[in-house]
Amino acid sequence: MEHQAEAKLLSPTRRELLQASIELTNHTLSYIKSMALRCAVQLGVADAIHRCGGQVSLDGLLATLSLSPSKLPYLRHVMRVLTASGVFAQADGGGYRLTPVSMLLLSDTGDDGGCRSLLQLVQLKLSPFCVSPATKLAEWFTTKDEETPFAMTFGTDWWGLCGRDPGFGVFFNGAMACDSRFLMDEVIHEKGDVFDGVTSMVDVAGGTDGAAKSVAAAFPHIKCTVLDFPQVINGIPAAGQVEFAAGDMMDFIPQADALLLKFVLHDWNDEDCVNILKRCKEAICSREQKGKLIIIDVVVGSPSQATCHEAKILFDLLISTLTPGWERDEKEWSGLFKEAGFRETTSSHLC
């Protein structure tokens, strides 16, 4: 009787069930927001509004995009969703204007070389390479092998596809360079003192030099080297104090005052992470003066705003869908550092 009474007390009211059904609808249709965003990105809506002076009517947007007049009602539907979600905003007198969110979708943001644009990164995250494996999560859970949903979908892992499909490799590396330019601008502005005393740096698995180029521009005295696979860096000329070294970080990392691992470790399981960290330790501790290992990655559960916390756990699920790795919390990070032999660590949060 006591358990029955407790169950009855916990039963939702009809009003609560109605509200729950609305919340369930929002969760169920959340992918529509992503697909509306993908549509706007592919059409170039942000650039179109920018070309119109930052504000444009629906008719004007249709004309600027060179779309058929018959698409006008459907364009309105897409823009209504993206306006409600804050990607765009309703302009005074009607029409639409850019917001800080959609300004990140501009293909060219001026004289800074596009460092404030995340267009290529968004294109990657909304591409079938990221979306398709996520649609197969339940199917993957019922399999007995340990491949990732990405590998189950494409028949190889992420790095295998980069090697097998040069077009995908270029697409991926371009998105990572876009992310590096944007993020490193913030890191250098907010946490630039981490580079104090550094005269040489290796950007480990640095791709096509986005992060290293930013560091070199901000600190001309630092000689930067980008380490990555030959197929990634072949053909990229040295520029200023940025050089390139072909190799596998699992085997060897060149010596330097500082090493940078930007969004590298989250791609790997604990065993591989420890191996990478040990290679790093060898590269910075073989000299008389110990160097620095600078890691830029997500820390799940760290103090952050609600929006940032949601972004972290969503990104965690994405990464674990695409790779054998995941985003780690403070305890998990500390465990990796300890096992790799690091004793002195400090942390700082951007969000």
User: Could you give the residue numbers annotated as active site?
Assistant: 266
The partner residues of 300 in beta bridges, in order of sequence, read 329
Nearest Cα to Cα of residue 58 among 42, 41, 77: 77
299-311 burial, b at 16+ Cβ within 10 Å, e below that, comes to bbebebeeeeeee
What SS3 state is found at 246? strand
**Rounded distance, CA 194 to CA 114, Å?**
24
Nearest Cα to Cα of residue 175 among 119, 232, 257, 113: 119
Q: Which amino acid is at 130?
A: C
CB 168 within 8 A of CB 123: no
Residue 237 Cα distances to 209, 225, 226, 243, 245, angstroms: 11, 12, 11, 8, 11
Neighbours of 349 (CB within 10 A): 10
**Rounded distance, CA 342 to CA 336, Å?**
9
253: which residues sit within 8 A by CB, 6+ positions away? 202, 204, 227, 247, 259, 279, 280, 282, 283
Element spanning 294, H or E: strand 292-296
Token pair listed for 105: 């979708």
CB 152 within 8 A of CB 139: yes
Token pair listed for 36: 């509306």
At 292, give phi and psi (nearest 5°): -120, 145
Token pair listed for 292: 């620095």
